Structure 1
């Protein structure tokens, strides 16, 4: 996976926007659904990206995949940093992005979820 494939995949999801919202982190590209972040990466290096994970499975996934690490800036219980080092197939990376997106959508209000369905 390269940064453009990552970017296009994220933007292909309903209601997703991209931005660089943190003035102290001017290279951090963030993808949000209805204003809630589901993934982020360094736009210049794309060495890794962050995803939201299910707390029940996050430790098992980190044990199974060396390229899945605790995040630098986010909750270790809900987020993981994925190293883009070629050790994980693009198929699995896309599945993890899907999970991250679904977890964020599930926490939206009923009204916001209905708005997404109608896009």
Structure 2
């Protein structure tokens, strides 16, 4: 899986948008791509160093 696949999957969900909001804090964070559903972050990954993806979840959903 690559960053394009993650992006396509996340954007296939209703009301999802993507942004790179962390660059305003430091230039080195320009490559962090964040996906939001109804203005709440739920997934992010580094576009330049795609070694992991972080997904927000509740403990019950993880189990």
Matched residues in 2 for 1:48 and 1:54: separation? 19
1:31 maps to what in 2?
35
CA deviation vs aligned residue, 1:80-109 (integer Å, no higher than 9, x gap): xxxxxxxxxxxxxxxxxxxxxxxxxxxxxx
Matched residues in 2 for 1:28 and 1:5: separation? 16
Question: Please, which runs of 5 or more residues in structure 1 have no aligned partner?
Answer: 62-119
How much is the aligned-residue C-alpha RMSD, in angstroms? 1.6
TM-score by length of 2: 0.81
Matched residues in 2 for 1:37 and 1:21: separation? 11
TM-score by length of 1: 0.45
Q: Which structure's residues are more often strand, by fraction?
A: 2
1:21 maps to what in 2?
21
**Structure 1 moving runs of 4+ over 6 Å:** none
Max Rg structure: 1
1:46 maps to what in 2?
50
State the secondary structure of the residue aligned to 1:47.
Answer: coil
CA deviation vs aligned residue, 1:61-82 (integer Å, no higher than 9, x gap): 6xxxxxxxxxxxxxxxxxxxxx
Question: Please, which runs of 5 or more residues in structure 2 have no aligned partner?
Answer: none
Matched pairs, number: 59
